[in-house]
Chain A
């Protein structure tokens, strides 16, 4: 017995030898948002050298206000990407919901709570429709949401008849998320706080509930999850519906930020949210990532755009820099994954 144990230990040691790089890989593997946190800290420090106005409470508040919408959409996008899916229709759902809210309230004269509830139902229902096509009709999420992106877009334009509803026409309830709150020297909008609250709730659900584990398991290996007794389709449907709900809350944030409801905004929200999720360390292949990372991802993009423009860099170069960030983030993800194959 002792003899075999000795052999065993030697074998285990042989398998467990790891270099310094492998140790770094292992840490990043455990905390996927860590690399984006490092990027954020380095970029904030760097930009503060280029322009003294960067590191001011005013400017930092502005960045947070600017990323509120993308950050909120990215929260919903994250859980879908965690299941190895993707949602190209997220922006379209948000804008659709915002038009439903604004138009039923202004044109049909509904009370704010009723129009808001209908907007939430429409957004969540749109998510459920995506989920239905993914689980029951068994179409790839990319194709499903590419289709529904156009469908929801067309429905929005059709419903809104191309008209923007301005702030003086809106119920004051819809402008609430544009209000500024002073926290110390920082000026945050209520929309930012609502976004942060959504992240907190989502992070809790993913970390501490069975649903959260199931989301990871389904994204990780869908067949294994099914054999383990998880009702895979139900989990997927719930993820698309939750995302739809988050996108319709985002609709509220959008109206508050723009101080209007327009059918012509939000066309780049899908790509921007995917950018935030990817830079935040969530794997496009599913099963890996943290919702908190997507918030960091959204803030990083905001910091880059703001910092570069304060440094007097042309818009083209800002976009170029974001592109480089995406490539680097995905390369890091691949590198981490390889560590454990």
Chain B
């Protein structure tokens, strides 16, 4: 339960308030190498805000974030991206009219070598296409045939796969997936979950925010339960059942921090 290796990412006592509303109230989080950590919680438990602090979309009021043991602070999403943290957003942050390769490299295009790139700022279109193709193949997204097709011609699952492929291509340290299957059908959700396992197999740790308990239990190594702005427990799919996790999440049961045993709320 307590691995001896150092965590890749560690957040300590994060606090984030919006005016008088306390969204995150002293939450901590540890992510260890090569694991899938699920973050679950009821609406308003502060999981989105917690994740936004980690991905640089919000800056916490208090608390520290350490990446590989070094303290860091993010002011913009670009900062966390530069640090090697990639985030896949629920609302499919891809540009519908651009093609897959352009989307994969959006915001960090590769220029041609030599004067064509440095003076005329020409992009290396074929090079980017090649890398995009490799990434898509690496993740086993076989249903995407043409790397040059516009993103809007793809199904929801394929679009999400493009987002995941983008994260996988550039994520050096870890990948955060915020409700990646919320907008997807059953078959497409399966594809995305397969991608998550694929990432873990490649050694990239993943933080997965989800509402969907069966999915969480299918892929997660550990489950971080968020309630009322705090982390109240970390369990594993083996140690606890789905019903127990839901009970803890909603406050029907309380978990003992020492021996992980469940009991009624005192």
Contact = CB atoms under 8 A, between A and B. Distances in A.
Contact of B121 (A209, A221, A340): A209
Contact of A225 (B87, B106, B152, B187): B106
B91 A340 contact: no
Interface in A1-48: 8, 11-12, 15, 29-30
Interface of B: 77-78, 81, 87, 89, 91-98, 102-103, 106-109, 111, 120-123, 125, 143, 150, 152-153, 155, 187
Contact of B123 (A213, A216, A220, A340): A213
Q: Give the top 10 A-B pairs by smallest Cβ distance, nearest first.
A: A229-B107, A227-B93, A210-B109, A228-B106, A217-B95, A224-B93, A228-B107, A220-B95, A209-B121, A340-B152
A230 B108 CA distance: 8
A211 B111 CA distance: 11
Contacts of A30: 150
Contact of B95 (A12, A204, A210, A216): A216
Contact of B106 (A12, A15, A213): A213
B128 to A, nearest CB: 10
A25 B30 CA distance: 50
A230 B122 contact: no
A257 to B, nearest CB: 31
Contact of A220 (B78, B97, B121): B97
A316 interface: no
B92 A211 contact: no
A4 to B, nearest CB: 10
A208 interface: yes
A16 to B, nearest CB: 9
A307 interface: no
A231 to B, nearest CB: 8
Interface residues on A, range: 20 to 34
A223 interface: yes
Contacts of A287: 95-97
Which residue, B77, B91, B94, B187, has most C-beta atoms of chain A within 10 A?
Answer: B94
A223 to B, nearest CB: 7
Contacts of B121: 208-211
B143 A217 contact: no
Interface of A: 8, 11-12, 15, 29-30, 204, 208-211, 213-214, 216-217, 220-221, 223-231, 287-288, 340
Contacts of A15: 155
Contacts of A288: 97
A11 B143 CA distance: 11
Contacts of B143: 8, 12
Scoring A15, A223, A228 by chain B CB atoms within 10 A of each residue's CB, the highest score goes to A228
A217 B103 CA distance: 9
Given A213-B102, A340-B153, A223 B93 contact: yes
14 contacts: A204-B120, A208-B125, A209-B120, A213-B109, A220-B95, A221-B95, A221-B96, A227-B77, A228-B94, A228-B106, A229-B107, A229-B108, A287-B95, A287-B97
Contacts of B152: 340
Contact of A216 (B81, B94, B97): B97
Contacts of B95: 216-217, 220-221, 224-225, 228, 287
A288 B122 CA distance: 21
Contacts of B97: 216, 220, 287-288
Nearest to A8: B143
Nearest to A287: B97
A230 B150 contact: no
Nearest to B78: A229
A62 B153 CA distance: 43
Contacts of A221: 94-96
Contacts of B91: 223-224
A220 B122 contact: no
Contacts of B94: 221, 224, 228
